[in-house]
Structure 1
Amino acid sequence: MLTGLSIRNIVLIEALDLAFDGGLTVLTGETGAGKSILLDALGLALGMRADSGLVRAGTAQASVTASFEPPLPGTALAALLAENEIAQEPGEPLLIRRTLKADGGSRAFLNDQPCSAALLKDVGALLVEIHGQHDERGLLNPRGHMDLLDAYGGMDSGAVRAAHGAWQTAQGRLEAAREALDSAAKERDYLAHAVEELSRFAPEPGEEEALASERAAMQKGARLTEDLATLETLLGGSDGALSGLRQAARRLDRIAPEHDLLAAALASLDRAVIEAAEAEDQLARASEALAADPARLDAIETRLFDLRALARKHQVAPDDLADLSARMATQLARIDAGEAGLAELEDEVAQARAAYEAAAQALSEARRAAAKRLDAAMAGELAPLKLDAARFRTDVEPLPEGQWRASGRDRVEFMISTNPGAPFAPLTKIASGGELSRFILALKVALAAQGAAGTMIFDEIDRGVGGAVAGAIGERLSRLAGGAQVIVVTHSPQVAARGAGHLLIAKSSEGTITRTGVHPLDEAERREEIARMLSGAAVTDEARAQADRLLEGV
């Protein structure tokens, strides 16, 4: 609910601070007093287009601040503020501020936090509905008619949305599988060849390193073969060093007892024979370990070169060839089994579609039933508003399959026929200004609070009517105000008499300076203003008496 409005330097309004209560508040004043300026200022705060022409002449900047009751937790407004990280202190009013410079620049704030004009407009749409003869939003926008009808009929489209989501998810999986199958099928021959080639070669992780190590060892052995052979000749054999050491040891053994030094020499010589024998054994083992088998070396090099060539061909590391072979084999198996998988997905899609169609059909039937109830409610509202020749119809039409959506398979639009026998058409196409305003009011009453923001503003909805019709408009506005804050700009005394609060908009001049002001009226002032509305510039006693009767009759 709008609780306050502060305006600075907007057209003829120099400075204005207003407080608003709930219920029905009426704004009256002579033609040209500036009622539209007040609504333009509020519209600026609610995110409407920033027009530099609104800035009061001679000033550099205009501003409008609107305060609203704090949003209730769990509401769309509270969620929107939280989503955009707009802090809202519990119990504190929601403040909207918009500044506009004379050069056209503007800034917007929510609770003193800068925000975009787009966010401000979204927030404003949840706070206030402004209805007038040229309103192109709200009830006149067919895009919102389905939600209004669903709310009126108490329908929950959650089951349809869930079923639609499941259907679309299944359809997406099927399409992805088809694309993958089509793409893979084009490579089937390549995959089959590659899998056969890799399976025949049978690469193993770590094989490259093992082959390279063995190859390096054999190449080293080939280089050392001659040296090892020479060493074996020098050390072993009948003429080798070890044989000579043994012969010397045998000869020394015969004479060692003759002297201690000879015995010591024999001991050293025995150790040398043992060490030389060990060296001979190690050389033999080394020769065996480093033996270079030309056939084996050739086989190793062939395998190693083929392994690396295969890795380059498939653009992977040699150690990854085994994993690549497994992946390709799996992919090939999927291609071969692809048709069976597609059949399962197609069955899943068919089941999900059937579930959606069943839920959408039930929702369509509920909508058609609610449409009949709404049409009957509207029929009861039109006659008192001098629209008794008009007819209202809620069209619930099936959409072609390509347009089925999460909200169902229907197109919903409010239609009217203004004269007997005239075809039905959208409200905005065939209703005149006065008729359109009354249709809006009738719809708001018939729909009660469905889709309504906390504050509804009606701009001269009673233009061109009077008497009983104006009285009926006032009664319906008062009824609406029982469930929401209603503010109405009116020229009708019958409507003004229904207000719980009354604001008078007046223009004053001081020399060359003209200002617009707004004055809350007490009971006596209300009586005088309604009498003026009844009689014109010269207020008569009869007009005052009639004003009393209007005030007493509400």
Structure 2
Amino acid sequence: MLVHLSVHNYAIVEHLDLELERGMSVITGETGAGKSIMLDALGLTLGDRADSGVVRPGADKADILATFDLIDIPEARTWLNERDLDGEGPCILRRVITSEGRSRGYINGTPCPLADLKALGELLIDIHSQHEHQSLLKAETHRRLLDEYAGAGDLSRQVQLAAQKWRQTRLELERLSNSGDEQRARHQLLSYQLEELENLGLGENELEQLEQEHKNLTNADALFGICRQVIEQCSESDSGNVLSALTASLNRLSAVQNAPGALSESVTMLASAQIQVEEAVGELNRFLDNFDADPARLQQLEERLDTIYTLARKHRIHPSEVVALQQQLFEELESLNASDESVDRLADELAAYGRHYQEKAEELSQLRQQAAAQLAAAVEVEIQRLGMPGGRFTIELHPNTQADLHPNGLETIELLVSANPGQPLKSLAKVASGGELSRISLAIQVITAQTSRVPTLVFDEVDVGIGGPTAEIVGQLLRRLGERGQVLTVTHLPQVAAQGHHHLFVHKVRGSDETRTAVSSLGKSERVEEVARMLGGIDLTKESLAHAKKMVVTAKS
């Protein structure tokens, strides 16, 4: 629960320290004294948005700390442990807003984003404002109230997530399916083109070899003549050939007695040349022995090359790129095959998400149906006590007619009321007046708060528009809640103020050059005087004091 609130330089508050206890604490004061300022400051520690305008004039920053005892809030302790934010002793939330508009949040001294303050704050405090009854006109509020009362918050989020995944999967499946005709046509073309290339069966270096062989066969006669001529000049001519000349030269040089060293080098080089010429002649002879100038082979080569060149022109590429094109088409075809597999996979996922949604949504519907009757009966009792005798209240669940899976489940929820006996049940927006709506809202808040796991409840002038005997019942309801935990209530009704276990009085302190807000914890006699002031105005009379004392004493009995 909230045990301490410290506010520095916020709005018209210069310095404020409040020690808070279990039970129902009422907060009263003159109009404009700043009763709601404390709750606004508390809201900042819980992640509410703020701007530089909240900083007290003349100060450089506003600093607010809220201290909580987490003994009875295991969910909050778990939340802190999971994020390594737990510490010894109470939990301290802090918010600092500078006059330049910068904002910083802290949990147990560790800087954190506002989202963390808000997430933790939802486990610590439940705030009900005077304007909350307006949200009762929204269908979203009806669903949220029923799900919270049914304890189906987690299940509701699972249904919402399942519907979201189902919709995302369906959109992706539709995208792939809509492009299916185009993909099928492309698949057919690629298959045909790839089949042509595979039938061609062109090897990695085959084109170069074919072109070279074709060139050789085309020039066969000229090539044969050239080779024979070179062989004759090197080794066979009777009138003189290269090998004979080299042999004669070597013999002459070798016959020289006491030849100089330079001649020995020349002999070596001529001997090497002789060997190389002999090897060249051998290679040429082997080439001629194996050379086949077969016309049939030449025709085969020309037909093969023509097939390759024709296919290359068809794809508008160079013949040397045919092998690379075959690999490219193969990879694209594999990609299209993968897309087909994706369609099948997405279809299976869509069906699985649909089954999961249906399972969770049906489970949620059962919880809603059970809780709707219980909540409606409890609210009906309270609205009759709150000045609507004979009033009826019910919660109807209408099946969704949409073909899509709805993120809110299988039904819509509607709150219906009959404010007066004999009138038919109708939607809140069509029946309830402003005052009736306030009382219905209060009844719902009180009932749903009884099932809340949050130990601290804040009611900010939720009794607006209520008076007379009904106001006393409101006070009794809030006191009953306070006996279960901690309730903070800002009120302007003496009947409500008299019911509190504790009483905080907000007032203005006027100095020579400024005005600030202060809060006092009232003792027994001071409390009677404040209730009397709320009953009869500034001038206290014996009658108003006696009435006030009776109200306070009666509330305790």
- Which of 203, 208, 211 aligns to 1:212? It is 208
Instruction: Using the TM superposition, name which of 4-13 and 295-304 deviates more.
Output: 295-304
Q: What amino acid is the match of 1:109?
A: G
| Per-residue CA distance 1:471-514 (angstroms, 9 max, x = gap) | 32222212323454321012334433433332111223234533
Are residues 1:143 and 2:140 paired?
yes
| Per-residue CA distance 1:23-53 (angstroms, 9 max, x = gap) | 3221122334321333343345545554666
Instruction: Using the TM superposition, name which of 66-75 and 486-495 deviates more.
Output: 66-75
Give the SS at the match of 1:401. coil
- Which of 94, 101, 104 aligns to 1:96? It is 94
Are residues 1:418 and 2:415 paired?
no
Using the TM superposition, give the Cα deviation of residue 285 of structure 1 relative to its aligned residue in structure 2, in angstroms: 3.2
Using the TM superposition, give the Cα deviation of residue 397 of structure 1 relative to its aligned residue in structure 2, in angstroms: 1.6
Q: What amino acid is the match of 1:538?
A: L
Using the TM superposition, give the Cα deviation of residue 134 of structure 1 relative to its aligned residue in structure 2, in angstroms: 1.9
Q: What amino acid is the match of 1:513?
A: E
Q: What amino acid is the match of 1:230?
A: Q
State the alpha-carbon separation in 2 of the partners of residues 270 and 543 from structure 1.
142
Using the TM superposition, give the Cα deviation of residue 148 of structure 1 relative to its aligned residue in structure 2, in angstroms: 3.3
Give the SS at the match of 1:131. strand
| Per-residue CA distance 1:122-143 (angstroms, 9 max, x = gap) | 6655654332332368766542
> 5 Å matches for 1:64-143?
64-69=63-68, 78=79, 89=87, 91=89, 93-99=91-97, 101=99, 105-111=101-107, 127-135=124-132, 142-143=139-140
Instruction: Using the TM superposition, name which of 508-517 and 424-433 deviates more.
Output: 424-433
Instruction: Using the TM superposition, name which of 420-429 and 450-459 deviates more.
Output: 420-429
> TM-score, normalised on structure 1?
0.74
1:28: which partner in 2?
28
Contact 2:7 2:41 survives alignment (8 Å): yes
State the alpha-carbon separation in 1 of the partners of residues 420 and 319 from structure 2.
78
1:13: which partner in 2?
13
State the alpha-carbon separation in 2 of the partners of residues 20 and 299 from structure 1.
101
Contact 1:192 1:332 survives alignment (8 Å): no
State the alpha-carbon separation in 1 of the partners of residues 45 and 151 from structure 2.
33
State the alpha-carbon separation in 2 of the partners of residues 243 and 377 from structure 1.
125
The alignment yields a C-alpha RMSD, in angstroms, of: 5.1
2:42: which partner in 1?
42
Instruction: Using the TM superposition, name which of 128-137 and 505-514 deviates more.
Output: 128-137
> TM-score, normalised on structure 2?
0.74
Instruction: Using the TM superposition, name which of 439-448 and 63-72 deviates more.
Output: 63-72
1:446: which partner in 2?
447
Q: 1:212 to 1:391 in 2, by over 3 A?
A: same
1:552: which partner in 2?
556
Q: What amino acid is the match of 2:201?
A: A
Contact 1:165 1:406 survives alignment (8 Å): yes
2:493: which partner in 1?
492
State the alpha-carbon separation in 2 of the partners of residues 179 and 509 from structure 1.
74
Q: What amino acid is the match of 2:13?
A: I
> 5 Å matches for 1:306-325?
309=313, 313=317, 318-325=322-329
Using the TM superposition, give the Cα deviation of residue 149 of structure 1 relative to its aligned residue in structure 2, in angstroms: 1.8
State the alpha-carbon separation in 2 of the partners of residues 89 and 474 from structure 1.
37
Give the SS at the match of 1:499. coil
2:252: which partner in 1?
none
1:185: which partner in 2?
184
2:229: which partner in 1?
230
State the alpha-carbon separation in 2 of the partners of residues 334 and 50 from structure 1.
52
Give the SS at the match of 1:187. helix
State the alpha-carbon separation in 1 of the partners of residues 478 and 102 from structure 2.
35
Using the TM superposition, give the Cα deviation of residue 236 of structure 1 relative to its aligned residue in structure 2, in angstroms: 3.7
> 5 Å matches for 1:445-464?
445-450=446-451, 453-464=454-465
Contact 1:129 1:452 survives alignment (8 Å): no
Q: 1:280 to 1:415 in 2, by over 3 A?
A: same
Using the TM superposition, give the Cα deviation of residue 318 of structure 1 relative to its aligned residue in structure 2, in angstroms: 4.1
State the alpha-carbon separation in 1 of the partners of residues 509 and 458 from structure 2.
25
Q: 1:243 to 1:436 in 2, by over 3 A?
A: closer
Q: 1:37 to 1:347 in 2, by over 3 A?
A: closer
1:258: which partner in 2?
none
Using the TM superposition, give the Cα deviation of residue 518 of structure 1 relative to its aligned residue in structure 2, in angstroms: 0.2
1:261: which partner in 2?
none
Q: Structure 2: where are the runs of 5+ without partners? A: 249-267
Contact 2:173 2:343 survives alignment (8 Å): yes
1:514: which partner in 2?
515
Q: 1:166 to 1:283 in 2, by over 3 A?
A: same
State the alpha-carbon separation in 1 of the partners of residues 272 and 348 from structure 2.
90
Identity of aligned residues (%): 34
Q: 1:214 to 1:69 in 2, by over 3 A?
A: farther
Give the SS at the match of 1:438. helix
1:481: which partner in 2?
482
State the alpha-carbon separation in 1 of the partners of residues 523 and 410 from structure 2.
54
Q: 1:247 to 1:26 in 2, by over 3 A?
A: closer
State the alpha-carbon separation in 2 of the partners of residues 552 and 357 from structure 1.
52
1:153: which partner in 2?
150
Q: What amino acid is the match of 1:285?
A: R
State the alpha-carbon separation in 2 of the partners of residues 181 and 314 from structure 1.
32
1:3: which partner in 2?
3
State the alpha-carbon separation in 2 of the partners of residues 425 and 315 from structure 1.
82
State the alpha-carbon separation in 2 of the partners of residues 418 and 157 from structure 1.
31
